[in-house]
Structure 1
Amino acid sequence: MNAFFQELALQRWDDHRYYHQSRVNQTLHLISALSFLVAYVVLFFDPATAALIGWLVSMVTRQTGHYVFEPRGFDRVNLVTDEYKERVKVGYNMGRKTALLTVWVIVPATLWFQPSLFGLIEPAADFAGFAHDLGIAWLSLGVAGLLARVLQLCLTRSVHTGLVWMTKILTDPFHDVILYHKAPLALLRGEWLDPMEHVREQLAAQGQGEAKTAH
């Protein structure tokens, strides 16, 4: 279990330092996390509504933070290129996210023009029915996206890594509230980017440790 939690901490650490340097992004992740927690509760009695909350509120705010506000290019905090971060990303990097979000957009259009989903479901009689069908379709997409990446990680890396990443994704809303609850206050102070002093200090300590080992 120690190895499991160590890798979980590492995946969370890399995700934070590589992809959450913008205070706006952190604030949007806080909003996303809180709405995901609401969706988790709603999931027990209304899965379709939970999926609508998850995709329309949680995912829109979360991905807006990544696509619009998070700095790209050379990372001067971690001293790595954007290409490197995309290559080593365990979960959904920007390329994989774009593919997933493309399918997300296609789903309601398909359901609108094919209410029966080519004969797979009973066509909705009104907008409420359409919204319910859309919620279920988006819930299915979310589950499929999660399981597909877990399976890919199990095959290309290890079962251990896949299970750790799945745990990370499912518990991210709880962790993000703890991690980014102060981000809105920092943003109100005019701090657009997290100085990431804790990251710089840890990287410096790691560098010193490696130097001592080499010596």
Structure 2
Amino acid sequence: MKDFLEALRTQRWDDHRYYHHCRINQSLHLLSAMSFVVAYGMLFIDPAVAALIAWLVSMTSRQSGHFFFEPLGYDHVNQATQDHKEEIKVGYNLRRKVVLLSAWALLPLAIYLKPGLLGLLPVHEDFAGFLHAVGYAWLYLGVAALLFRTTHLFFLKDVQTGLVWMTKILTDPFHDIYLYHKAPFQLLKGQRFEHVEMRTSL
């Protein structure tokens, strides 16, 4: 258990120091995290609505922070190139995210053109039904993406690395709220970028 928690701390620290320099990105991650917590609660009420919240609010705000606001050049703080960071990233790097988000964007079109999607989803008869079907499709996509990368890491690295990454992803909303709750206020004070320094823990 000690090794597991240490590996989790390391993955979280690497993710933060390499990919969360910008306070705008951190603020968007805070919005994303709070939305994910709401989505977690909605899973017990309406899973399709939970997935709509998770993808439309949480994932959109989270990934826009990475794509549009986070510096993509040489990382002077960590003495690392963007290519190096992308190569060693445990989870979904920017290239893998483009593939995942492309699938996410194409699913509503596929459901519109083929209601029920070959019997995998409920056939919609109105716009509300269409949204519900899209929500379920996005829920399945999210679960599949999580399990696929976890299993992939079993073979690329080892079982612990995959399980640690899955644990990190599932608990990121709570950790991000703790980590970035001050980011909007720091941004309002004119602190556009965090000067990341090595710390023993997060």
Partner letter of residue 133 of structure 2? D
Aligned-partner Cα distance in 2 for 1:120–1:32? 28
**1:125-204 equivalences in 2 (<5 Å):** 125-196=125-196, 198-199=197-198
Q: Which residue of 1 aligns with 2:9?
A: 9
Q: Which residue of 2 aligns with 1:209?
A: none
Change (3 A) 1:87 1:46: same
3-state SS, counterpart of residue 68 of structure 2: helix
Listed as ranges, the gaps of 5+ residues in structure 2 are: none
Aligned-partner Cα distance in 1 for 2:147–2:29? 22
Moved over 6 A (4+): none
**1:66-85 equivalences in 2 (<5 Å):** 66-85=66-85
Aligned-partner Cα distance in 1 for 2:154–2:105? 28
Tell me the CA shift for residue 156 of structure 1: 1.1
Aligned-partner Cα distance in 1 for 2:99–2:184? 30
Q: Which residue of 2 aligns with 1:210?
A: none
Aligned-partner Cα distance in 2 for 1:137–1:122? 10
Tell me the CA shift for residue 80 of structure 1: 0.6
Aligned-partner Cα distance in 2 for 1:146–1:4? 19
TM-score with structure 2 setting the length: 0.96
RMSD of equivalent CA atoms: 1.1
Partner letter of residue 75 of structure 2? D
Change (3 A) 1:39 1:119: closer
Listed as ranges, the gaps of 5+ residues in structure 1 are: 203-215
TM-score with structure 1 setting the length: 0.91
3-state SS, counterpart of residue 118 of structure 1: coil
Tell me the CA shift for residue 195 of structure 1: 1.6
* Bigger Cα Rg: 1
Aligned-partner Cα distance in 2 for 1:56–1:105? 10
Partner letter of residue 141 of structure 1? L
Aligned-partner Cα distance in 2 for 1:13–1:195? 14
The Cα offsets for residues 162-214 of structure 1, whole Å up to 9 and x where unpaired, read as: 00000000000000000000000010011111122x33x77xxxxxxxxxxxx
Q: Which residue of 2 aligns with 1:205?
A: none
Whose helix proportion is higher, 1 or 2? 1
Change (3 A) 1:123 1:71: same
Aligned-partner Cα distance in 2 for 1:122–1:79? 51
The Cα offsets for residues 59-95 of structure 1, whole Å up to 9 and x where unpaired, read as: 0000000000000111011001001000000001101
Q: Which residue of 2 aligns with 1:104?
A: 104
Aligned-partner Cα distance in 2 for 1:187–1:159? 39
- Alpha-carbon contact 2:35-2:57 (below 8 Å) kept: yes
Aligned-partner Cα distance in 2 for 1:189–1:138? 37
The Cα offsets for residues 36-67 of structure 1, whole Å up to 9 and x where unpaired, read as: 00000010110000000000000000000000
Aligned-partner Cα distance in 2 for 1:143–1:62? 18
Aligned-partner Cα distance in 2 for 1:116–1:133? 8
- Alpha-carbon contact 2:48-2:132 (below 8 Å) kept: yes
Change (3 A) 1:183 1:123: same
- How many residues are treated as equivalent by the alignment? 200
Change (3 A) 1:164 1:193: same
